[in-house]
């Protein structure tokens, strides 16, 4: 090793932002850390928001309003789609109801026409019976006259 070119290796106090301190050896007398093994989420198993220098707050200030605007826009779009779907369902129900009413009217008209035809056939049958009776009576009268 060359002499007088290497930094001095001394005891170093390490301080974490969580308050944990320990002593080790380094080329500087003191170090500060943001995370250590006592507060890091990987080792503790708990979620922790690490905000160095207010970065999270700056991000929220810069983009938080945009994210809220996007959420509001999505909610408005979803509400408009729901309203449109409800309107379409109502239109389909109205069409189905109108179609059912038209079908019922056609059925009633057909039933009325069938009833009229049945009444006409019955009247025709009664008339045929009357004609047959008259013819039979004439035949009997002709037999009696002979």
C-alpha dihedral (80, 81, 85, 88), degrees to nearest 10 = 70
Q: What are the binding residues?
A: 16, 18, 36, 39
**Closest Cα to residue 30, out of 7, 13, 9?**
13
Annotated binding site for Zn(2+): 16, 18, 36, 39
Task: Quote the CA–CA distance of 131 and 122 in Å, as a whole number.
Answer: 14
């Amino acid at each position: 090793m060359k002499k007088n070119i290497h930094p001095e290796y001394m005891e170093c106090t390490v301080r974490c932002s969580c308050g944990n301190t320990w002593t080790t050896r380094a080329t500087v007398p003191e170090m500060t850390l943001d995370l250590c093994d006592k507060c890091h989420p990987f080792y503790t198993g708990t979620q922790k928001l690490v905000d160095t220098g207010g970065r999270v707050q700056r991000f929220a200030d810069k983009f938080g309003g945009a994210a809220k605007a996007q959420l509001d826009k999505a909610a408005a779009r979803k509400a408009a789609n729901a309203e449109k779907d409800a309107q379409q369902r109502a239109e389909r129900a109205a069409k189905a109801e109108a179609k059912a009413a038209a079908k019922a009217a056609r059925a009633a008209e057909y039933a009325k026409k069938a009833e009229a035809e049945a009444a006409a056939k019955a009247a025709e049958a009664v008339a045929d019976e009357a004609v047959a009776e008259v013819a039979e009576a004439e035949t009997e009268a002709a037999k009696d006259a002979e």
